[in-house]
Amino acid sequence: MWGEHTESAMSPPITRRHLAVTSLALAAAAGGWWWSRAPEPRIGGPFALLDGKGNPVSDRDFRGRFLLVYFGYTFCPDVCPTALGKLSSVLDRLDKAQLDQLAVVFISVDPQRDHGARLSEYGSAFHPLITGLTGPREQIDAVAKAYGARYRIAGDTSRDDYAIDHTSVVYVMNRDGAFVTQFTHNATPEAMLAKLQAVLK
């Protein structure tokens, strides 16, 4: 389930790799009667994080809306900008009634560098609906584990130019906070739009 790509020769000396990861496939989606009896992987769960202003934000704050969840970091050279740019282009094609039912969180796995205005403004620069969240390492690790997201710090965190390899998946949770579907890094905008329009109807 792990795929890896290496950046171009323009990369700085630190090897900046990202893990553009294909998703966990739901067992049920594979078909076959026995699969339907297998327990589905549980994706999602409670979280307690902080926004750029240091205000606590939890999963419960999003009840009643569909919630899109993405893990990354603002210094990401390629994967996050690509994923958020694509997501933004999809959100731009939803109408107001659909957007009103939706919230998006960008969970930074890099609290050392992502906080304050930088965290607040990074997501909203892609789309006003995207809220940046982060928190203490233990809280980040708990929510990442709950979603099946993974990351790995690559480089020396005493310098300011370390990279973080991370999975790139948009998780879609329903109004009750339960998992609906997920979009892998290579999902097309058309497929994402169609799926979102189907669940937001």
Nearer to Ni ion, 72 or 135 (CB): 72
- Using the rule CB under 5 A, which residue among 72, 123, 135, 177 binds Ni ion? 72
Q: Taking the complex as a whole, how short is the minimal distance between the CB of residue 10 and Ni ion, in angstroms?
A: 16
* 80 contributes a contact to Ni ion by CB under 5 A: yes
Size of the site for Ni ion (CB under 5 A): 4
CB 90 within 8 Å of CB 192? yes
Instruction: Give me the residue whose beta carbon is nearest to Ni ion.
Output: 76
Nearer to Ni ion, 21 or 129 (CB): 21
- Using the rule CB under 5 A, which residue among 50, 79, 102, 163 binds Ni ion? 79
- What is the secondary structure of 39-88 as a DSSP string? PPPP-----EEEETTS-EEEGGGGTTSEEEEEEE-TT-SSHHHHHHHHHH
Chain Cα centroid distance, residue 47:
14
Q: Taking the complex as a whole, how short is the minimal distance between the CB of residue 31 and Ni ion, in angstroms?
A: 33
Interface stretch with Ni ion, choices 69-77, 95-103, 143-151, 173-181 (CB under 5 A): 69-77
Helices (H), the chain: 79-91, 96-99, 116-126, 137-147, 189-199
Question: For residue 152, what are the CA distances in angstroms to 16, 32, 83, 124?
Answer: 11, 35, 18, 25
* 149 contributes a contact to Ni ion by CB under 5 A: no
Which residues of the shown chain bind Ni ion in the complex (CB under 5 A)?
72, 76, 79-80
